[in-house]
Amino acid sequence: MREMVVSTRVRVLLVGMAVVGMALGIIAVLGAVSSASPKGNTDDDHRNDKGRTLTVVGKNPQSKGLDLGAQGPTQGDLIVINAPIYDESAKERIGRFDMLCAITDPADESSEKAHIAQCTKTFTLPGGEITVEGVEAFSNLSGLSPAGVNAISGGTGKYAGVEGEQRFEVRGNKVVNTFRFID
């Protein structure tokens, strides 16, 4: 009779473990599906902006070149830029722009027309930030690169998970920045 009781206990234990295992499996599947699904996909949420664009305008950027090595442009010199950011109409201030560039290839030969720099930019906008990175060409250390394309490297808040590119173009005292979000 004792063997029968042990056997029943073992069966109950095995069935209990199977139920717990199935429950954990279901929870894991639901968690994976939920994390892959869009969260709060409203017009203000840019995580799923495949093919969409966002244009913002920087006005009156402040630029400073930091000559850190030997006098004149050398590898490692820095360019620091910031500006207020406005909506596409350039009327309503909506955030700020901060940029740090390190010169990687100074225009130190007569055939070179621009200093090449590796740049990181952060656009602080309502609801989050967008960070972009890329190589840009500068005619001087205290100026702006006239135009270019950079990769979107990340985002926070409603921009978490965005990918794509940022195109920019200097127009007088304004810099027009257009983000194209892709998969």
Superfamily the domain 53-182 falls into: Allene oxide cyclase-like (2.40.480.10)
* Residue-range domain boundaries for the chain: 1-37, 53-182
Q: Express each pLDDT in 125-136 by its tens digit.
A: 999 999 999 999
Mean pLDDT of the chain: 80
Q: Are 54 and 162 in contact (CB under 8 A)?
A: no
pLDDT score, position 8: 54
Mean pLDDT value across residues 76-102: 97
Closest Cα to residue 94, out of 60, 62, 63, 128? 128
Percent of the chain past pLDDT 70, that is, above it, reads 72
Percent of the chain past pLDDT 90, that is, above it, reads 60
Give the H/E segment covering residue 31.
helix 2-36
Joined tokens for residue 9: 């206990």
Mean pLDDT value across residues 103-122: 92
Mean pLDDT value across residues 38-47: 43
Cα gap 154→146, rounded to integer Å? 23
